[in-house]
Amino acid sequence: MREVAVIGCGMTRFGELWEKSFRDIFVEAALKAIDDAGVDHLDSLYVGTMTSGLFVGQEHVGALMADYLGVAPVPAVRVESACCSGGMALRLGFFDIASGNSDIVLIGGVEKMTDGADVTYALATAADQEYEVYQGVTFPGLYAMIARAHMHQYGTTRKQLAHVAVKNHHNGSLNPHAQFQNEITVEQVIGATMVAHPLTVLDSSPVSDGAACVVLASSDVAKKLKKPLIKIVSSSAATDALALHQREDITTLKAVKHAAESAYKMAGLKPTDIQLAEVHDCFTIAEICIVEELGFVKKGKGGEFTEKGETALEGSIPVNTSGGLKAKGHPVGATGVAQAVEIVEQLRGNAGKRQVKNATIGLTQNMGGSGASSVVHIFKKES
């Protein structure tokens, strides 16, 4: 396999982008990434989007975006794996280059969620339609059941859950691309409008529009560019039962655990080698489970770990320096690519007020549904 590097990145601001269309936000992010990379052509295009068909009535997204970006006839394909569509698109682009098929690939993630669709229903299509959604389950409901089980099994507290949101809002306040750039308190999280007991609206990532793009190239191409060389040293994905009730243990995100283990193996790294991580905090409980599955802390101790500040900007392993899905926003298909954008900016030293000092190894973890699919990438800066 050939070595793969990220040579360009760009994203729109995340939020309610009333003036901009689905295709426009993608093109905006893509142009930024291409400009940042300084390339004059692409060999192929991968676009992650979860459910544009339901959100804006648009499928056939690969061709649409190639057309509007003005790169047709470059081959383009839309990639879907629910909320980790973006991460999966990145993975496919990675292999396209690693295999020697392409030299320069654009990876995009995009979602337009505010155009009036029934968002709760659209997101719920990532769960088991016949045996979860049919009964009235929602995504907050599924994560609420994980939270309840985690609290019951490990003594995780309501307050510990809130700390995830408080931390991520703090990080978001330092990120100009974030949907929410305001600080919140534990009391505000707990006292906010209930969505699915025990999770409130402030435990939940928002409904967002946004797009993010990265340009990947083979190491040989990348070395010719005068930029810090950010290599993707691992790309790993895994799956689990689609329905939460079919999992062996409700609190274990096995797909995340498997993807992480093989990612560490592929890179020859250990969890302790990771200096920062962008993870899929669609709900506060998700971040607590994920830091456990990634091996940053023992199973069951994620809440305590977060409350102690270990995952804060100045903690032992800063998690979601961008503000995460919670504060930066969660335009579903864009999220996995936006995570990569944040890690690349951090490793390049461009993260401004939220910069993690001397960061050279970062990880992204993107997840679909209630954890039935997950993808993990590890990025390493070569000096």
Partner 1 sequence: MPSPRYWRETPQRYRLEAAKCKQCGKISFPPRLVCLGCGNKDFDTVKLSDKGKIVTFTTICVAPTQFTEEAPYSIAIVELSDGVRFTTQVVDCTPEDLEIGKPVKIVFRKIQEEDKTGIICYGYKAVLT
Q: How far is CA 258 from CA 48, 254, 333, in A?
A: 22, 6, 22
Residue 41: which residues within 8 A CB-CB, separation 6 or more?
71, 104
Q: What's the closest the beta carbon of residue 333 comes to partner 1, in angstroms?
A: 20
**Residue 169 annotated among the catalytic residues of the structure:** no
Q: What's the closest the beta carbon of residue 190 comes to partner 1, in angstroms?
A: 15
Q: What's the closest the beta carbon of residue 142 comes to partner 1, in angstroms?
A: 8
Binders of partner 1: how many residues, by CB under 8 A? 33
Specify the stretch interacting with partner 1 by CB under 8 A; choose among 139-147, 314-322, 332-340, 345-353: 139-147
Q: What's the closest the beta carbon of residue 57 comes to partner 1, in angstroms?
A: 17
* Secondary structure of residue 95 in the 3-state scheme: helix
Q: How far is CA 209 from the centre of its chain?
A: 14
Specify the stretch interacting with partner 1 by CB under 8 A; choose among 3-11, 138-146, 263-271, 287-295: 138-146
The first and second tokens of residue 70, run together, are: 């003005």
Residue for token pair 């409901």: 141
376 is an interface residue for partner 1 by CB under 8 A:
no
d(CA 63, CA 78): 8
Q: What does DSSP assign to residue 271?
A: G
148 is an interface residue for partner 1 by CB under 8 A:
yes
Closer residue to partner 1 in complex, CB, 149/190:
149
161 is an interface residue for partner 1 by CB under 8 A:
no
Residue for token pair 């996995």: 336
284 neighbors 295 (Cβ within 8 angstroms): no
Binding-site string for partner 1 from residue 221 to residue 250, where x marks contact by CB under 8 A and - marks none: ----------------------xxxx---x
132 is an interface residue for partner 1 by CB under 8 A:
yes
Task: Select the residue interacting with partner 1 from 21, 58, 114, 138 (CB under 8 A).
Answer: 138
Nearest to 372 by CA among 135, 37, 216, 142: 142
**Residue 83 annotated among the catalytic residues of the structure:** yes
130 is an interface residue for partner 1 by CB under 8 A:
yes
157 is an interface residue for partner 1 by CB under 8 A:
no
Q: What's the closest the beta carbon of residue 224 comes to partner 1, in angstroms?
A: 49
102 neighbors 44 (Cβ within 8 angstroms): yes
358 is an interface residue for partner 1 by CB under 8 A:
no
* Secondary structure of residue 199 in the 3-state scheme: strand
Residue 125: burial class (beta carbons within 10 Å; 0-12, 13-18, 19+): middle
Q: What does DSSP assign to residue 300?
A: T
User: Can you give the binding site for partner 1, defined by CB under 8 A?
Assistant: 118, 120-121, 124, 130-138, 140-141, 144-146, 148-149, 152, 193-199, 243-246, 250
Q: Known catalytic residues?
A: 83, 330
